Amino acid sequence: MVKKILRSTYLWLILIFLYAPVVLLVVYSFNASTEIGSWSKEWNFSLYKMLFTDSKILNAIKNTVLLALSSAAISTILGTVGAIGMFYSKPRTFRIFNTVTQIPIVNAEIVTAISLALVCSMLLFPRTYGSLLLAHVVLTFPFVVTSVLPKLKQMDPNLYEAGLDLGASPMKALFTVTIPEIMPGIASGFMLAITLSLDDYIITNFTKPSTIDTISTYAYNAYAKNSANTSIPALRALSAIIFAVIIISVVAVNLSANRTVKEREASK
């Protein structure tokens, strides 16, 4: 019993450490004070008003979301094509493909970032939205490949052959047999790509044009370069909103997962 209490206490202490900073921001986001540590008597939404009238932050949010969605979409197609291509190659070719695919995963982000910056300058390719998009594809596609490969391994190879025997062209069999079969892997690869893109700072910083900011680069400039930045209070409100969105989506995902489990059990 004592052991049990000790264990729970330990877990909760660590959880407090992990959540204290964010909870503090959430609490302060409803206070009129723009400085943490000093309470204002007023509790209101003034910081949220600041956030929603700050066109630079709003633009950064829009850029971040669009970049995450578009780069994840491209990565998902590229990663799926790559995973299928390499999986059905000779074992030796597969190994080479697999090793090269792992490079951006194991490499330090700063090295990937400067290597892409070098490519831009070498090809006299100005840093544009295009270079930024491409960099995020390089950042995320290996994770799509590593999500799709296990599904290809689990797949019954006879299904595709059966499709061919029943008269489907290889292309048709690919789209009607293989792709639906590995869809869970493709979907989780897509979600993973989105989360990685949303989180990135270093690669973004080295490949973006100076006119574009994402949440990461904007927050970095506000907090790391200039602690007296006037948009910091508005970023508190943004952190609170992001935290709320995460909690809501996690709860929603879990509820729907529970429901499908129950439905499956009910239909048995």
Partner 1 sequence: MGVALRFSRKHLGIPYALFLAVFVLFPLVLIVIYAFTDANGVPTFNNFTDFFSRSSNLYVLLISFVLAVLTTAICLLIAYPVAYILARSGAKKRSVYLLLFILPMWINFVLRTAAMKELLFALDGLGVYNVTDWYFVNTVIGMVYDYLPFTILPIYTVLIKIDKNVIEASNDLGANSAQTFLRTTLPLSMPGIVSAITMVLLPTTTSYVISDTLGNSKVTIIGKLIENQFNIGTADSWHTGSAISLILLFFIFGTMLLSGKFTENTNTRGGGLW
Q: Restricting to residues 193-222, name those near partner 1 by CB under 8 A.
A: 195-196, 198-202, 206, 215-216, 219-220, 222
Is the CB of residue 132 less than 8 Å from the CB of residue 212? yes
Q: Does 129 bind partner 1 (CB under 8 A)?
A: no
Residue 167 to residues 160, 170, 172, 176, 180, Cα–Cα distance (Å): 11, 9, 9, 12, 18
Output 67 or 104, the one with its CB closest to partner 1: 104
Smallest separation (angstroms) from partner 1 to the CB of 246? 5
As measured in angstroms, the least distance from the Cβ of 42 to partner 1 is 19
Q: Which residues contact 68 (CB under 8 A, 6 or more apart)?
A: 136, 193, 194, 197, 198
> Position 91: which residue type?
P
User: Binders of partner 1 among 10-29, rule CB under 8 A?
Assistant: 10-11, 14-15, 17-22, 24-25, 28
Rounded to an integer, what distance in angstroms lies between the CA atom of residue 190 and that of residue 71? 10
Site for partner 1 contains 149 (CB under 8 A): yes
- Directed axis angle between helix 91-106 and helix 129-154, to 10°? 130
How far apart, in whole angstroms, are the C-alpha atoms of residue 115 and residue 132? 13
Q: How many helices, marked H, and strands, marked E, lie in the chain?
A: 12, 0
Nearest distance, CB of residue 243 and partner 1, angstroms = 6
- Write a three-state SS string for 159-219: HHHHHHHCCCCHHHHHHHHHHHHHHHHHHHHHHHHHHHHHHCCHHHHHHCCCCCCCHHHHH
- E strand or H helix that includes residue 105: helix 91-106
Query: Does 106 contact partner 1 by CB under 8 A?
Result: yes
Which residue of 44, 99, 176, 226 would you call a contact of partner 1, by CB under 8 A?
99
Q: Work out which of 246, 248, 252, 255 binds partner 1, going by CB under 8 A.
A: 246
Task: Based on the shown chain and the rule CB under 8 A, indicate whether residue 139 belongs to the binding site for partner 1.
Answer: no
Which positions from 45 to 74 touch partner 1 by CB under 8 A, shown as an x/- string? ------------------------------
Contact between 186 and partner 1 per CB under 8 A = no
- Neighbouring residues of 76: CB distance < 8 A, sequence distance ≥ 6: 144, 186, 189, 190, 193
Among 134, 182, 234, 237, binds partner 1 (CB under 8 A): 134
In three-state secondary structure terms, 253 is helix
Candidate list 71, 112, 207, 231; residue touching partner 1; CB under 8 A = 112
Q: Give the interface segment with partner 1, choosing from 41-49, 51-59, 99-107, 260-268 (CB under 8 A).
A: 99-107
Stretch that binds partner 1, among 42-50, 51-59, 190-198, 260-268 (CB under 8 A): 190-198
Residues 150-179 that bind partner 1 (CB under 8 A): 150, 160, 169-171, 174, 178
